[in-house]
């Protein structure tokens, strides 16, 4: 019976630690204990313990110029592993479709290969008169 209580506490701790990491975004790249506590609705002592653990594991690091925290090297490491193993076209396709629908224009994702661009994914416009990309890996001069 006691182990299920520990499991629930551990699950809640993991969940809260991950919630802390998700608070760091484009508008909040550095956060203090009080800010994290307020945003999560969790008391400061709990946040302090969780942040301390995340810092020890390099998921957070303390800012050099104030008492706030920012994402650490382990987060970058996880992102690197994720992006190494993800197919960029699978990630980009729904975004390209959304952009095509918003603009009603043909949209493409290209990569730089030396001095040439190469279309790697495209979504053609639905308009009758439109630019259509059909050739796979069409290259173009920059």
Give me the pLDDT at residue 138, please: 58
Using the structure block, give the residue that is written with the tokens 């956060």.
Answer: 31
Q: Are strands 107-113 and 116-123 parallel, antiparallel or unpaired?
A: antiparallel
pLDDT for 72 beyond 80: yes
**Chain CA centroid to CA 126, Å:** 31
What angle, 0 to 180 degrees and rounded to 10, lies between the N-to-C axes of helices 2-23 and 33-40? 110
Give me the pLDDT at residue 32, please: 97
Cα–Cα–Cα angle for 29, 34, 37, rounded to 5 degrees: 90
pLDDT digits (tens, 9 = 90+) for 109-135: 988 888 878 888 889 888 888 776 766
pLDDT digits (tens, 9 = 90+) for 2-30: 455 666 667 899 999 999 999 998 788 99
């Amino acid at each position: 019976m006691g182990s299920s209580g520990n499991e629930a506490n551990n699950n809640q701790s993991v969940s809260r630690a991950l919630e802390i990491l998700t608070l760091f975004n484009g508008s909040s790249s550095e956060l203090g204990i009080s800010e994290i506590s307020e945003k999560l609705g969790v008391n400061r002592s709990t946040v302090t313990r969780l942040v301390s653990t995340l810092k020890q594991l390099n998921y957070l690091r303390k800012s050099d110029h104030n008492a706030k925290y920012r994402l650490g090297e382990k987060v970058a490491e996880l992102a690197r592993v994720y992006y190494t193993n993800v197919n960029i076209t699978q990630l980009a396709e729904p975004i390209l479709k959304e952009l095509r629908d918003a603009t009603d224009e043909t949209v493409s994702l290209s990569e730089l290969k030396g001095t040439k661009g190469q279309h790697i994914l495209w979504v053609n416009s639905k308009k009758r008169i439109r630019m259509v990309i059909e050739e796979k890996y069409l290259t173009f001069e920059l």
